[in-house]
Structure 1
Amino acid sequence: MTQTTGIAITGISGRMGQMLAREVAANPKMQLVGAVERSGHDWIGQDLGGAMGGTANGVIVTDDVATAIADAQAIIDFTTPASTLAFAAAAAKAGIVHVIGTTGMSTAEIAQLKEPARNAVIVRAGNMSLGVNLLTLLTRKVAAALDEDFDIEIIESHHNQKVDAPSGTALMLGEAAAEGRGVNLADVSDSGRDGITGARKRGDIGFSAIRGGDIVGEHDVMFAGAGERIILRHVASDRALFARGALKAALWGQGREAGEYDMLDVLGLGE
């Protein structure tokens, strides 16, 4: 009998949490062994299957992460920065893989992951999709090939309930563009245009955010020069692709050395 990988999911009542639970249930290599929600949530103490409107599956929703990961080999986390840091500490203590899809983390918060990464595998990405990670590679290469005669603008579109901007994916693409040009993104980022802003500064990497309806995720990286534009684009039409990417990362992390990784490592595209 093939051994399955035990998976715990945080933020289980959310759209991504429930999507992850369904994808784990459909994956013969995995078994859902833990489900976490914030204290006081209506689902606490309930069987997850019933809470999701289906049949009981024996997984009881808890607000105690230690209980949720007791039988897990990986925890998948699409929550908030503060919660993610707490889950990272718990995953490191248990020595299990921590897959992080949380967006909106500050540079200081990301730096705090170095300590738990000494004792556990952490796979963190602003986007878990194969296509977006290929787009990241292409963005870096095109940015390296073109000089500052080409303005770089990253345009992202998401549903009207998204709370952070620019998106984690947009920032990931911005980092790739900055790396390609050999600059620090913080020094050239331009995301706050409003009113009389003056002409665009040469070398800046711009961000534009659109929010509306139920857009899953669309990202364009535009290199605009005199008389020509190069546009790299990725469109997501089904958020299940993010869940599947996260599950791939959870499996990939089994048996790896402790440390910080990203989806390019998972996909064998790391350089």
Structure 2
Amino acid sequence: MKLLRYGPVGHEKPGCLDQDGRVRDLSEHVSDIAGDALLPATIARLKTLDPSSLPVVDGTPQDDLRLGACVGQIGKFICIGLNYADHAAESGLDVPPEPVIFNKWTSAVIGPDDDIVIPRGSKKTDWEVELGVVIGAGGSYIDEADALDHVAGFCVINDVSEREYQLERAGTWDKGKGCDTFGPTGPWLVTPDEIANHDALGIWLEVDGTRYQDGNTSTMVYKVPHLISYCSQFMSLQPGDVISTGTPPGVGMGQNPQRYLAGGEVIRLGIDGLGVQTQRVNASS
């Protein structure tokens, strides 16, 4: 099942995508794709619905029908750093002996095709396509063998990053990761039964038609079950929390010469089976 949220910013409604690519409204069944709506029992109930019995929403998704982030009211936006060995190498850093955890502030979250705005004073705004894991059943100290039972679904995330703020201005990475608009999420949350193998998904990103990132989730250092278990040792995971699992090589910082976003670019990114995002980059005002 592909769950989504559609409509104007701040007024998104819950929906799903039918087999013909049309949005069907779920408002009579859940109030939002958020919180308890992501619990296993609720997802199971939604899967019993006949999509053809649900109201059709006017418009074509990602065309004349805006999609919001596929998860609403995100409680925690947890990110994993340097989780692809070749990305660590292009960053000039070693593969970490344990997963690196940092945060994106939830005010960074936008729809999959909303504009990215470069922060004032930024000189090094960068891109990062990532596999997102959305938590369904929460928990603490989750056993790795049971971790996938806690997954509501997967999605595409662009972990937009300001490298100077992240790496050169002291403190943690967070200040370069959580700027407004730095968290495009979606277009849809895809339930695990629709993904044959989340460990073997093509993952790519293009800027103005040039492909910079072209990887596969099979090369992740720390796999999804380990990441869920690991994160749950340091915080309780709750329904609707998002874990962004790291990026393959090809970021702007890793180019020779380095390339960063200046405004006016169009970014396209996607993951096999999880959809495509498109963002226009606006220079700071």
TM-score per shorter chain, which class? under 0.3
Using CA pairs under 8 Å that are at least 6 residues apart, name the structure with larger relative contact order, 1 or 2: 2
Which structure has greater helix proportion? 1
Q: TM-score, normalised by structure 1?
A: 0.25
Which structure has greater strand proportion? 2
